[in-house]
Structure 1
Amino acid sequence: MQSLLYGVAVLACPVGMGVMMWMMMRGQRRRPDDASAEQQLAALRAEIDILKADRAGQSTSGHS
């Protein structure tokens, strides 16, 4: 009985690691479709442009 518990304890780590790796790889397969990725990229680029314009406005008014 004691050796059975020892065997289960020894196998718990590699089995748990394998399950976690399987779940992580399964999650990576779910990629957003290209349309939503393009929309997100366009939104981020627009936000960068707004921030750059705001930063340029602050630097010109700060030096006056």
Structure 2
Amino acid sequence: MPQSLYPLLLLACPIGMGLMMWLMLRGGSHTPRRNDSLREQAELAELAELRKEIAEMRTAQTHTHQPSRN
């Protein structure tokens, strides 16, 4: 085997690893978008529920602090 191929053999593993990492990162970039969308919908639903609870608590608080009419 010619000696000029030895450096190529030594670099084959790191180059292959870098290529695989790049392909995995590139291919996986589509899934977080879907997960972010689902997470955002869940957060909006939770926010709406919390706003509803706050409104109910404020309503209850104003009814308890109103002076009674005699």
TM-score of the superposed pair, with normalisation by structure 2? 0.45
TM-score of the superposed pair, with normalisation by structure 1? 0.49
